[in-house]
Amino acid sequence: MVKVVVAGAAGGIGQPLSLLLKASPLIDELSLYDVVNTPGVATDLSHISSPAEVTGYLPENGEGVKKALKGANVVVIPAGIPRKPGMTRDDLFNINAGIVKGLIQSIAEVAPEAYILVISNPVNSTVPIAAEVLKKAGVFNPKKLFGVTTLDVVRAETFVASIVGEKDPRKTTIPVIGGHSGETIVPLFSQASPSVDIPSDKLDSLVNRVQFGGDEVVKAKDGAGSATLSMAYAGFRFAEKIIKAVKGEKGIVEPSYVYLPGVAGGDAIKEATGVDFFSVPIELGPDGAEKAINVISKANDHEKKLLEVAYKDLKGNIQKGIDFANKPA
């Protein structure tokens, strides 16, 4: 039996993500939690003729979240405010840090064994917050905590395909590593598989487009939020990979932002990057993150320069999250 919880299920990402999860035959129970509108979203989805049983919960003075989370195997968190034009993801910190902290405290209490997939921005800081809260509660399992950076991978696949003329972007695997904001996002086109030939006069703008793809959507939505549909696709892609790996499927690899010292192979990457949290391709298995794959050592000189910038920015983002989680209430 697989129970998936979406926290923030009534939002721009939450609704289409819940739709994709409801349509998946891999899921038996889908539990929707939000501070508003979940009864309606859950009832609507429950009419879809797929196996998952859908339930919706509102806060109910703190009891609703516990009911929603009880028995969860996977919790996906897209709760929190999105950007408007002119904002950075870090501008979301003041509101979203508290939302993520509260949700993780409930997970620590009610569903400490669950795989936790954090979508809420700024991911570079919200994942360290989650780790600290779980540590304090004595239930931190680094193999089960993931910052969802799949949208960066999805964008890299899509933008490269349009340059090299590949009709199906999914046929090319591109490691995108680092964090999830601006220059902390580093696509390693030199390690694309199968290899891609990107004209040198197009490389800089391609890298920039992947790093700032989120801004492209924020600008186009013109005040109505940030990426929701592509994020729902990406969030579902990652959640589905976790579920398949847990069910025993082998050879599943997807980049994700993890706590390096807690994942096999992570120490060498921590030494190279100087940070505890970093996104690299992760081999997924029945226990979660089985292995962090060191793609950094093979980065070319251009990519190494991009990485140096990413390390610097990430250090501050990570520390900000840790400090927030540990400040006295």
- Which residues are near ligand NAD by CB under 6 A? 7-8, 10-14, 33-36, 78-83, 92, 96, 99, 102-103, 119-121, 123, 148, 151, 180, 225-228, 231
Q: Which two tokens stand for residue 325?
A: 């989680």
14 is in an annotated binding site: yes
13 is in an annotated binding site: yes
CB 123 within 8 A of CB 100: no
| Minimum CB–partner distance for residue 212 and ligand NAD (Å) | 13
In angstroms, the first-to-last Cα distance of the chain is: 37
> How is residue 52 annotated by DSSP?
-
Tell me the three state secondary structure of residue 284: strand
Helix or strand holding residue 104 (H, E)? helix 93-110
Return the residue nearest ligand NAD (CB atom).
11
Q: Which two tokens stand for residue 147?
A: 């910052």
Residues from 179 through 218 that contact ligand LMR (CB under 6 A): 180, 214, 217-218
Among 3, 22, 83, 320, binds ligand LMR (CB under 6 A): 83
| Minimum CB–partner distance for residue 200 and ligand NAD (Å) | 29
Helix or strand holding residue 29 (H, E)? strand 29-33
Distance CA 308, CA 135 (A): 29
When asked if residue 226 is in the footprint of ligand LMR (CB under 6 A), the reply is yes
Distance CA 124, CA 90 (A): 9
89 is in an annotated binding site: yes
9 is in an annotated binding site: yes
Q: Which listed option, ligand NAD, ligand LMR, none, makes contact with residue 178 (CB within 5 to 8 Å by class)?
A: none
When asked if residue 79 is in the footprint of ligand LMR (CB under 6 A), the reply is no
**How many Cβ atoms sit within 10 Å of the Cβ of residue 103?**
26
Sorted by sequence, the CB contacts under 8 Å of residue 238 that are 6+ apart come out as 117, 146, 148, 150, 254, 256
Nearest CA to 118 out of 149, 140, 139, 142 is that of 149
8 is in an annotated binding site: yes
# chain residues binding ligand LMR, by CB under 6 A: 11
| Minimum CB–partner distance for residue 87 and ligand LMR (Å) | 8
Known catalytic residue at 302: no
> How is residue 193 annotated by DSSP?
B
H helix and E strand count, the chain? 11, 11
* Nearer to ligand NAD (CB atom), residue 24 or residue 124: 124
* Nearer to ligand LMR (CB atom), residue 44 or residue 90: 90
* Nearer to ligand LMR (CB atom), residue 64 or residue 80: 80
When asked if residue 147 is in the footprint of ligand LMR (CB under 6 A), the reply is no
CB 48 within 8 A of CB 23: yes
195 is in an annotated binding site: no
Q: Which listed option, ligand NAD, ligand LMR, none, makes contact with residue 78 (CB within 5 to 8 Å by class)?
A: ligand NAD
Q: Which of 3, 180, 209, 320 is catalytic?
A: 180
Helices 93-110 and 301-326 cross at an angle (nearest 10°) of 70
Among 3, 89, 143, 144, binds ligand LMR (CB under 6 A): 89
Nearest CA to 124 out of 89, 151, 162 is that of 89
Binding residues for substrate: 83, 89, 121, 155
Binding residues: 8-14, 34, 83, 89, 96, 119-121, 155, 231
Contacting positions for ligand LMR (CB under 6 A):
82-83, 89, 121, 151, 180, 214, 217-218, 226-227
Binding residues for NAD(+): 8-14, 34, 96, 119-121, 231
Q: Which residues are catalytic?
A: 180
